[in-house]
């Protein structure tokens, strides 16, 4: 049975419930890289008097990476070591779901995202993304769909995407999977190394890309590079670093969150065929302080982020709020933060960020966000003793 905890009790780091917090942005890592627009970073702090309280629904989860809400009650949660679990509405954690794919649970790899098909109530189809082991120390981001039976067993596992080429580096896999009716979006990372990051600019390699497939795994004929065939035909957008957040906006357009280097985390509104710049341009710098590429933030033909953070928030998953519990938050972005941790809220108007608020900063590494059936906010915490939290207005 779940019990209410104040934010401090989560990791004994905060006291009391969380109102929108005043925070010090801190010094930018790249102050010489001026934003293209004034509203592109460091938005005004949003303070609306809403106080949030976290309730621990389930604990003892092994480094949970994603949460999806089941329509008939309960939740699906991935554990990065390779386990999918059903968590009941009462917080009871079920035995591992049988039939999940083999994963490489090394570095940043493992069983990563889980999402429900839009027709899940009828089809019982779910989607998974994961680090696929390919032998010889190689791995790749992969995605598959399967049917979740009433006995909590997966059947008909069908792998539809494997990143190409495979990588020797167990880092920067992405990877979110976003079903959208007849199509599915899959995000990939570029595996971090100076050599591999260059592949984000190559349409023939599925590194640092948003991939768009038909729901059966075939390639849509209207993809922007469909005429090139091969890997390029799968590509929806390119020039990304490590896309660990992706969600459909209320108007049906895909938005993404990606990890920058030191500085330069990005929120992007994705348009087909567009180049989002990595590693040619960035608002961040390498971890050793050296510039990214030529040290530029802008270049003709490369898209500007809607918003960026410097210093970073290290974003995980996010959701556009849609629920009755917080009606004034409708359409706001609620994002997980790994560093400094907690929940980040962005208010939007006409596709631009108008305000930012933060909650539970420093309490825990939030890895994913979802919206419960009644409008409560769900979060999973990135820890070997991770938790599924239910967050509601006080």
Q: Catalytic positions, please?
A: 172
Query: Could you give the C-alpha distances from 45 to 124, 268, 325, 342, 345, in angstroms and in order?
Result: 41, 20, 22, 16, 10
- Rounded Cα distance between 11 and 103, Å, is 29
- Rounded Cα distance between 351 and 185, Å, is 21
Q: How far apart are the first and last CA of the chain?
A: 20
User: Which regions of 119-162 does DSSP assign to beta strands (E)?
Assistant: 125-135, 138-148, 154-162
Residue 78 pairs in a beta bridge with 66, 84
CB distance 257 to 265 below 8 Å: yes
**What number of helices (H) and strands (E) belong to the chain?**
3, 25
- Rounded Cα distance between 125 and 167, Å, is 29
Q: Report CA Rg, the chain.
A: 20
């Amino acid at each position: 049975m779940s019990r209410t905890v104040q934010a401090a009790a989560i990791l004994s780091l905060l006291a009391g419930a969380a109102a929108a917090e005043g925070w010090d942005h801190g010094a930018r890592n790249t102050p010489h890289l001026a934003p293209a627009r004034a509203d592109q970073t460091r938005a005004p702090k949003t303070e609306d008097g809403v106080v949030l309280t976290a309730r621990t629904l389930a604990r003892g989860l092994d480094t949970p990476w994603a949460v999806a809400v089941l329509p008939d009650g309960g939740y699906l949660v991935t554990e990065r070591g390779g386990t999918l679990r059903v968590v009941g509405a009462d917080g009871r954690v079920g035995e591992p779901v049988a039939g999940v794919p083999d994963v490489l649970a090394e570095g940043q790899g493992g069983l990563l995202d889980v999402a429900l098909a839009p027709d899940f109530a009828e089809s019982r189809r779910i989607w998974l993304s994961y680090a696929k082991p390919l032998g010889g120390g190689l791995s790749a981001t992969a995605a598959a769909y399967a049917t979740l039976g009433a006995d909590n067993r997966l059947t008909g596992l069908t792998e539809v995407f494997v990143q190409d080429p495979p990588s020797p580096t167990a880092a920067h896999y992405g990877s979110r999977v976003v079903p959208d009716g007849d199509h599915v979006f899959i995000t990939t990372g570029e595996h971090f190394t100076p050599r591999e990051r260059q592949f984000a600019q190559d349409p023939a390699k599925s590194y640092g890309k948003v991939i768009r497939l038909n729901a059966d795994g075939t390639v849509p004929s209207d993809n922007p590079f469909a005429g090139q065939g091969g890997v390029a035909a799968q590509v929806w957008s390119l020039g990304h670093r490590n896309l660990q957040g992706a969600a459909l906006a209320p108007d049906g357009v895909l938005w993404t969150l990606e990890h920058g280097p030191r500085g330069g985390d990005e929120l992007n509104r994705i348009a087909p065929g567009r180049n989002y710049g990595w590693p040619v341009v960035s608002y961040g710098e390498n971890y050793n302080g050296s510039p990214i590429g030529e040290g530029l933030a802008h270049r003709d033909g490369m898209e500007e982020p809607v918003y960026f953070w410097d210093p970073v928030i290290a974003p995980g998953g996010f959701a556009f709020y849609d629920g009755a519990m917080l009606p004034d938050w409708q359409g706001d972005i609620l994002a997980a933060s790994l560093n400094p941790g907690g929940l980040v809220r962005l208010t939007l108007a006409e596709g631009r960020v108008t305000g930012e608020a933060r909650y539970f900063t420093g309490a825990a590494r939030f890895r994913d966000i979802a919206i419960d059936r009644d409008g409560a906010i769900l979060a999973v915490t990135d820890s070997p003793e991770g938790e599924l939290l239910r967050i509601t207005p006080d």
